[in-house]
Amino acid sequence: MYWLKKLGAMLATLLLVSALTFTALYFLPGDPALLILGTEAEPGELALVRAQLGLDKPMAVQYWHWLSGVLRGDFGRSLTFSRGYSVARLVVSALPVTIPLAAAAIFFSLLLAIPLGALAASRPGGRLDSLVLTLSQTGLSIPAFWLGILAIQFIAVELGWLPPGGMPKWRADPGGAALSLLLPALVLALPRGAILTRIVRAAMQEALGQDYIRTARGKGLSEWTVISRHALKNALVTVSTVAGIQLIQLLAGALVVEQVFSLPGLGRLILSAVLLRDLPLVQGGIFAGAALIMALNFLLDSTYPLIDPRIRGVA
Amino acid sequence: MRGRLKGCFLLGLMVLLTVSGFFFTPYPPNEMDIPGRLEAPSSRHWLGTDNYGRDIFSRIIIGGRPALAAGAFAVCIGLTLGTLWGAAAGYYRGWLEEVLMRMADGLYSLPSVLMALLAVTLLGPGQASILVAVSLANIPIFARLTRSLFLSLREREFILAARAMGSTNRRIIFRHILPNCLSTLLVQASTSFAAAILAEASLSYLGLGTQPPAASWGRMLKEAQSFAGLAPWAAIFPGLAIALTVLGFNRLGDNLGDRLGVKKE
Amino acid sequence: MQKLFGLFLAVILLAGCSPQAAGSELVVAIPTDPDGFHPHQSVAAASAEIAFNLFEGLVKAAPDGSIIPALAEEWEISPDGLTYTFTLRQGVKFHNGRNLTPEDVVYCLTRLADPDLSPKARDYTGVQRIAAQGNQVVITLAQPDAVFLALLTEFGASIYPKEVEGELSTKPIGTGPFTLSAWEPGDSLTLAKFPQYWNPQLPKTDKIILKIIPEPTTMVNSLLTGHVDLIPRLEPDYLHQVEGKSTLQIIDSPMNLVQLLAINNAVAPFDDLRVRQALNYAVNREEIIQGAAWGKGTPIGSNLTPAMGAWYKDLTAQYPYNPEKAKELLAQAGYPDGFSTTMYLPAPYPLHRNAGEIIAAQLEKVGIKVRIKVIEWADWLEQVNRDRDYELTVVGLTGRIDPHTMLNRYQSQSGRNISYFASPEYDELLVRGLAETDHEARIEMYQRLQTILAEHAANVFIMDPSQIAVMGRDIQGWSNYPVYVLDLAPLSRTE
């Protein structure tokens, strides 16, 4: 029952988001037909192209048309951008960029955060601790796109170590594709890693103060065993929840990084579709993005009761 | 203690620079000098010149205004509306909570860029749209935080006691629960201020914010990007300005958190 | 976690030995995806420039702007200018293997001229009859139309086999030197050599990949790192990154684009000739060419460019840079202290945006305060191009190979007349120009039209920016065209 309710709420939110974006886009000035005809447009042609695109219908009719299509699994066709291609295909082709990018970024940020956070927590107030804190504060304060610009210039262009942007298809060149994602993922990982470092540190500090740690120490276990086997394991439960939230933030942050590195991901697809007033494509892209975020939220929500028994009763 | 001082010093310096721009800049910030473009930092131009030959130092001073304005707006509007929103949800619970939190989730899932685009549509391109977008983006953040604080506080003994003594709901919310949330909210406010500066920079970088020839740090970076090889200073200093200011606010948040005993999420 | 890391490491290691394709292959960078390849429906410039390699019409444009034979081997125009007789080339095959017939030409051109089926029919309203006659196609016009042959070079007039009509947009079938072998939207298009092309010398390369790279920075970086062989159109802001590199060559020539500061002649204070003239004196074209185009541009004084050859009249001396004169004119017009105005700039075009910012600074010096608004292209098209609700804007008008199409937008009733320019003399001369069959007389008329625009200070005409093509030193066969096409067939890599 709890799951059904959650699922229902999720679908309702999706519907709300789609209706909101549809309305907003409908009232955006700028007309796809005008974009198609460019600077040479004459009124007669405009009407013809608008009719061809179905833009002459009232808003509710257009929305219903879109929604009934979605229920049948048809997200429509792009109006301007690669006209003739289905929205579903365009969106699906963007996912293998955005999802691995976000996944790699969260992976790198954990790789950064867990050792640093654990180290800092092992000697609270020590020199190492304050260094880690300063580092994480700094990492948190650097704009990702600035880091991207500098990384492209100095690491990709001047040193030539990694591709400067763009990305080949996974199918055509899997190695090249992975390499293209490396620098953007690192750039994206830094601020997230900075936040996660603090979370790991706090969680570790709390775990290290618990009774069972004292018991473990009392048993004469080495400090390394105490930290890695006992404290870290417990701290990771909290960290994994927060990491999920960070993943959502990451998906949104990916947009700017995709722009800086010109990666053909979901964020960039949506942004260019908005600029081109390509309604079906924007709808499809936002829908996919919102569904992705909500699915993650759903997963997170369902892990909360497992971690914190106090909420279980209320839910 | 030393770190604390440094943080405040940094913040003070950036704010002071921005404010001083209202009275004085080394050069008129929009004055072009095409033959003198992309000059390296020198005693004439401390931080060099950009692709129109404008003085980068003067433009960084001016470019702080939209950043600080975004922070101030995001915090003022996000804090007031978001707190009320989350308080209503967390206190009354039931269907109201469900509706309010779904709406907050929906708002939360709309990418801030799209929000900025919509704002640009309604208000035209420019800084006002960015202010609206960052403010809207902060409402669900404060709403979610307040709600979670309320959830943990509403069943506490002193609240139950107040209720048993017949206090009105409004009194319980504003007199008993909210004051206990204040320190956490204050820490979030300074984090939000920092995040709003970053958001303003990103949106300006995407070209949605301050209109030329006015300067903003994000737009300066966008303009410098194509010349990053030829004139790295144009791509470095505005980013440094953003990073230092944001760092200042993040430090402020941490210090507040330490002093007020708030555990940060 | 360890497994995950191992997987990532494996992927990274794999990258070191990615397969290198053999055979003749070139990678060309383009900024935007085409909007489809149906000649009558597609209107994006990105489609037309690629379609030049997939389709052909009866005639086509040459790099010097002249009109040369394509599917028609030769043609004849009757002395009254009404009947065009095209003799088709023998043995031309479509990509689907079928032979080209005169009926295909009749079908395609008839459909093109049908206003119910084709958004491009407007240009072809003068066509009265299209008929096949043995190996010939005869087209009859209602009145002489000096532009007609030039119109037949455009993408819309391409010939395709009737039976592929339905899927043409994504699976183009034409007679061009290349076939479209793959299209990954937003990523790349792959063109493969068409072995049965009627000219056995072409194309010189087996496979050309058109890589879609929207950011110029990425485009340049891909060229520098060898991921891309050729950039056909580089934004001048990025020129410095490729200049002086020993492995690269740069080919630049006027691109036949009229960049102008468009003025709304219908609103105060711009309805006063003296104010418009003051703007012309206040704008320093040389500074704009240096500042916005890094020197890669040719100043112009009216709505045609030097790329138009004999049609072009150099009017740049009409308004030399003279801010004092500008202030004087403003004072005479009743604005001794200047005034405030708004300028819309199209966001996706850095050249126009940069020029606009420099113009704003120049106008400031004569007392005109300009508020800049950078707007998206969609908004620009609606507010400026359609509704003409603006004061100043900077934009580029794409050149054609015939002067009429360039100049008729200033006809007082034209829907494309964004300046609200109105001159009875101009309107009358346009009508006469179209009907004139004597070439010399026609040239004189179109030169007069340019002079009228300059004398009335319809706009501030700024420059014809250069098309900057950058490629590896080992690439040969590239030509810049005065129309918006990419000619890929002669391209090859020297060994």
> Is C487 in the same domain as C452?
no
What is the enclosing helix (H) or strand (E) of C465?
A: strand C460-472
The residue type at B121: T
Q: Classify residue C200: in a domain, yes or no.
A: no
Q: How many domains does chain B have?
A: 1
> Is A146 in the same domain as A49?
no
pLDDT score, position C6: 47
Q: Quick one: which of C233, C310, C319 has its CA closest to C274? A: C319
β-strand partners of C469: C251
How far does the CA of residue B49 sit from the closest CA of chain C (Å)? 14
How far does the CA of residue C101 sit from the closest CA of chain A (Å)? 28
> Is A145 in the same domain as A288?
yes
> Is A98 in the same domain as A51?
no
Secondary structure (3-state) at C283: coil
> Is C404 in the same domain as C484?
no
Strands C83-88 and C127-133 turn out to be unpaired
pLDDT at position C20 over 50: no
β-strand partners of C251: C469
Q: Classify residue C224: in a domain, yes or no.
A: no
Q: Does residue C177 have a cis bond before it (omega within 30 degrees)?
A: no
> Is A147 in the same domain as A258?
yes
Asked if C35 lies within 8 A of A83 by C-beta distance, the reply is yes
* For the ranges A230-244, C240-254, C281-295, the one whose mean pLDDT is highest: C281-295
Residue C297, phi then psi, degrees to nearest 5: -170, 160
| Chain B: partners with 3+ C-beta pairs within 8 Å | A, C
Which residues in chain C are closer than 8 Å to A36, comparing Cβ atoms? 35, 43-44
> Is A292 in the same domain as A184?
yes
Q: Is A109 on the interface with C (CB under 8 A)?
A: no
Q: Is C186 on the interface with A (CB under 8 A)?
A: yes
Q: Classify residue C159: in a domain, yes or no.
A: yes
Asked if C43 lies within 8 A of A179 by C-beta distance, the reply is no
Whole-angstrom Cα distance, residue B238 to residue B219? 9
pLDDT score, position B164: 86
pLDDT in tens, B126-173: 888 889 989 998 999 999 899 988 888 888 888 888 888 888 888 888
Q: What is the mean pLDDT of chain C?
A: 88
pLDDT score, position C15: 42
pLDDT in tens, C95-153: 999 999 999 999 999 999 988 887 778 778 888 889 998 899 999 998 888 788 988 99
Whole-angstrom Cα distance, residue A77 to residue C35? 12
Domain range enclosing B188 = 2-19+56-260
Residue B155, token pair as written in the block: 């069943």
Q: Classify residue C244: in a domain, yes or no.
A: no
What is chain C's alpha carbon radius of gyration, rounded to the nearest angstrom?
25
Contacts of C379 (CB under 8 A, 6+ apart): A29, A30
pLDDT in tens, C377-388: 878 888 888 889
> Is C268 in the same domain as C303?
yes
pLDDT score, position A313: 41
* Alpha helices (H) along chain A: 2-27, 32-37, 43-53, 59-71, 87-122, 127-141, 144-151, 174-208, 211-218, 223-225, 232-260, 266-275, 279-307, 309-314
> Is C25 in the same domain as C99?
yes
pLDDT score, position B3: 52
DSSP string, A242-277: HHHHHHHHHHHHHHHHHHHTT---HHHHHHHHHHTT
Q: Is B180 on the interface with A (CB under 8 A)?
A: no
The stretch C40-54 carries a mean pLDDT of: 87
Whole-angstrom Cα distance, residue C184 to residue C187? 5
Q: What is the CATH number of the domain that holds B127?
A: 1.10.3720.10
Q: How many domains does chain C have?
A: 2
pLDDT at position C16 over 80: no
> Is C140 in the same domain as C284?
no
Cβ–Cβ < 8 Å for C283, C316: no
Give the side-chain half-sphere CA count within 13 A for B211: 22
Other CB atoms within 10 Å distance of the CB of residue C415: 18
Contacts of B97 (CB under 8 A, 6+ apart): B89, B90, B147
Asked if A141 lies within 8 A of B225 by C-beta distance, the reply is no
The stretch B37-41 carries a mean pLDDT of: 90
pLDDT score, position A44: 67
Which residues in chain C are closer than 8 Å to B125, comparing Cβ atoms? 373-375
> Is A195 in the same domain as A56?
no
pLDDT in tens, C313-347: 999 999 999 999 999 999 999 999 999 999 999 98
Residue C161, token pair as written in the block: 């086999």
How far does the CA of residue B260 sit from the closest CA of chain A (Å)? 16
Asked if B230 lies within 8 A of C240 by C-beta distance, the reply is yes
| CB burial string C212-223: b at 16+ within 10 A, e below | bbbbbbbbbbbb
| CB burial string A215-254: b at 16+ within 10 A, e below | ebeeeeeeeeebbeebbbebbbebbebbbbebbbebbbbb
How far does the CA of residue B108 sit from the closest CA of chain A (Å)? 10
The maximal CA–CA distance of chain B, rounded, in angstroms, is: 78
> Is C435 in the same domain as C481?
no
pLDDT score, position C399: 81
Whole-angstrom Cα distance, residue C76 to residue C85? 5
Q: What is the CATH number of the domain that holds C35?
A: 3.90.76.10
pLDDT in tens, B223-250: 888 888 888 999 999 999 999 999 999 8
> Is C161 in the same domain as C278?
no
Residue C249, phi then psi, degrees to nearest 5: -125, 150
Q: Classify residue B29: in a domain, yes or no.
A: no
Q: Classify residue B94: in a domain, yes or no.
A: yes
Chosen for mutation from A25, A140, A159, A249 (greatest number of chain B CBs closer than 10 Å) is A140
> Where does the pLDDT of residue C12 fall: very low under 50, low under 70, confident under 90, or very high at 90 and above?
very low
Which residues in chain B are closer than 8 Å to C347, comparing Cβ atoms? 207
CA angle C423, C425, C429 (to 5 degrees): 120
On the 0-12 / 13-18 / 19+ scale of CB atoms within 10 A, C340 is exposed
Whole-angstrom Cα distance, residue A211 to residue A219? 12
The stretch C472-480 carries a mean pLDDT of: 92
Q: Classify residue B39: in a domain, yes or no.
A: no
Cβ–Cβ < 8 Å for A78, A278: yes
Asked if B121 lies within 8 A of A29 by C-beta distance, the reply is yes
Q: What is the CATH number of the domain that holds C394?
A: 3.10.105.10
Which residue is closest to B37 within chain C, CA to CA? C291
> Is C107 in the same domain as C48?
yes
Contacts of A120 (CB under 8 A, 6+ apart): A128, A129, A132, A133, A197, A201, A204
Q: Classify residue B192: in a domain, yes or no.
A: yes
Asked if A166 lies within 8 A of C218 by C-beta distance, the reply is yes
Q: Classify residue C245: in a domain, yes or no.
A: no
Q: Classify residue A67: in a domain, yes or no.
A: yes
> Is C162 in the same domain as C299?
no
Domain range enclosing A44 = 32-74
The stretch C52-80 carries a mean pLDDT of: 91
pLDDT score, position C289: 96
β-strand partners of C74: C87
Domain range enclosing C437 = 257-466
> Where does the pLDDT of residue C19 fall: very low under 50, low under 70, confident under 90, or very high at 90 and above?
very low
> Is C487 in the same domain as C454?
no
pLDDT at position C48 over 80: yes
Q: Classify residue A10: in a domain, yes or no.
A: no
Q: Quick one: which of C110, C96, C89, C100 has its CA closest to C40? A: C110
The residue type at A102: A
pLDDT at position C159 over 90: yes
β-strand partners of C257: C398
The residue type at B225: Q
Q: How many domains does chain A have?
A: 2
> Is C438 in the same domain as C489?
no
Q: Classify residue A170: in a domain, yes or no.
A: yes
Q: Is C415 on the interface with A (CB under 8 A)?
A: yes
Asked if A36 lies within 8 A of C214 by C-beta distance, the reply is no
| Closest CB to A198 among B239, B247, B264 | B264
Q: Classify residue B26: in a domain, yes or no.
A: no
Q: Classify residue C446: in a domain, yes or no.
A: yes
Residue A275 C-alpha from the chain's centroid:
21
> Is A164 in the same domain as A271?
yes
> Is A117 in the same domain as A61?
no
Alpha-carbon distances of C231 from C36, C178, C181, C471, C478, rounded to whole Å = 22, 19, 21, 6, 11
> Is C164 in the same domain as C264?
no
Secondary structure (3-state) at C399: coil
**Residues 2-31, chain A, touching C (beta carbon < 8 A):** 28-31
pLDDT score, position C51: 94
| Residue count of chain B | 265
pLDDT along chain A (315 residues), means of 10: 76 80 75 71 70 78 85 79 72 89 91 89 84 88 90 84 80 85 92 88 81 77 76 74 73 80 85 78 84 77 58 39
pLDDT score, position A279: 80
Other CB atoms within 10 Å distance of the CB of residue C125: 11
| Closest CB to A252 among B105, B111, B242 | B111
CA angle B113, B119, B120 (to 5 degrees): 90
Give the side-chain half-sphere CA count within 13 A for A310: 5
Q: Classify residue A15: in a domain, yes or no.
A: no
The stretch C204-211 carries a mean pLDDT of: 93
Which residues in chain C are closer than 8 Å to A28, comparing Cβ atoms? 378
Which residues in chain C are closer than 8 Å to A94, comparing Cβ atoms? 186
The stretch C395-400 carries a mean pLDDT of: 86
pLDDT score, position C479: 92
Q: What is the CATH number of the domain that holds A242?
A: 1.10.3720.10
Whole-angstrom Cα distance, residue A291 to residue A180? 26
Q: Quick one: which of C483, C493, C410 has its CA closest to C446? A: C410
